[in-house]
Amino acid sequence: MPIEEIKTKNLRWINVTDVNDTTCPEIKYLKTNFNFHPLNLKDCVIDGQRPKIDDHRNHFFMVLLYPIYNRKTREIESAEIDIFVCKNYIITVHNNKLLPMVRLFNHLKKNKYKKEKDEYLSNNVTLVLHDFLNKLICHCFPMLDHISMDIHNIEKEIFKDREAQMVKEILITRRNIVSFRKIMQAHKNILKKLEKSNQAIQLFDSEKAQFYFNNLIEKSKEIWDTLDSAKESIEALYGTSESLISHRLNEIMRTFTSISVIIFVLTLIATLFSINAMHTPFIKQPNAFWIILFIELIVGFIIFYYFRKRKWL
């Protein structure tokens, strides 16, 4: 269902999904039942919004982006969640791609978990919001672990003479790190603004709210620091792979050049004997072919031995 609700005596959680445009029933429902700003409702429709937080008289509105992993394309993509927060309700608008939110809502709406639902939504709305954001942030850590494993595997394989095959893996991992950083870049500032928004409409005690929000900020910093470390590692591996490939190409070119020199000298000898001039040696001999072939083999072996001794071959 596009609009679902979990309601207790203290708090309502309205979950809105599959929002297509500003004229869809879901947006009309929010516009009719809540006094939300039209621009905030428009933000719920447009994908890829810049993360932000807007304060209003009795509520605030948040736009946040979180990473999700597409197993088919092996790409980290962004998923948006829009949140309206007031003293007695919290409204989430998303596209059902953020699994922590989907699982939590589906779990709480089941009748057999009524007691758990009542206890969960009996908390202050700020605590519920903190739990939402905490679950979404914690969902990022397995993706960071996956990136770290990819980097470790690349590092192992790149020194097994598989640097050419690892180039694609390096580029995929670089792209995912860049996408991850782009998605998480604004989180720390948005979380810092949460405290001011809480003070503006006085949803929760400021000191307690600061403790909870600082916890989210620290986790956001941890994610960013891990991404910085991953970025440095993958850049170093990329430079290493380029150096190894360049070295391998230089070795191949040196080998081909040495072979070309040997062939050139042998061709030159054969050309000189093919002139058939008056004083050309061995031409009139009955075993001239074998004599010339033997001379070429001796010259070729000498050049080859010289190149091997100089480690050019």
**Can you tell me whether residue 80 is helix, strand or coil?**
strand
Domains of the chain by start residue, with CATH: 3-246 (3.30.460.20), 251-309 (no CATH)
On whether the CB atoms of residues 38 and 44 are closer than 8 A, the answer is: no
pLDDT, residue 144, reads 93
pLDDT, residue 207, reads 67
pLDDT, residue 270, reads 83
Q: What angle do CA 275, 280, 286 make, to 5 degrees?
A: 100
CB atoms within 10 A of CB 287: 10
pLDDT, residue 142, reads 93
pLDDT, residue 224, reads 92
Tell me the whole-structure pTM to 2 decimals: 0.78
pLDDT along the chain (313 residues), means of 10: 80 86 83 86 80 85 91 90 89 90 86 74 81 92 93 86 80 93 86 74 67 85 93 90 82 85 86 75 76 85 83 72
d(CA 142, CA 302): 61
d(CA 25, CA 47): 18
pLDDT, residue 48, reads 66
d(CA 49, CA 35): 22
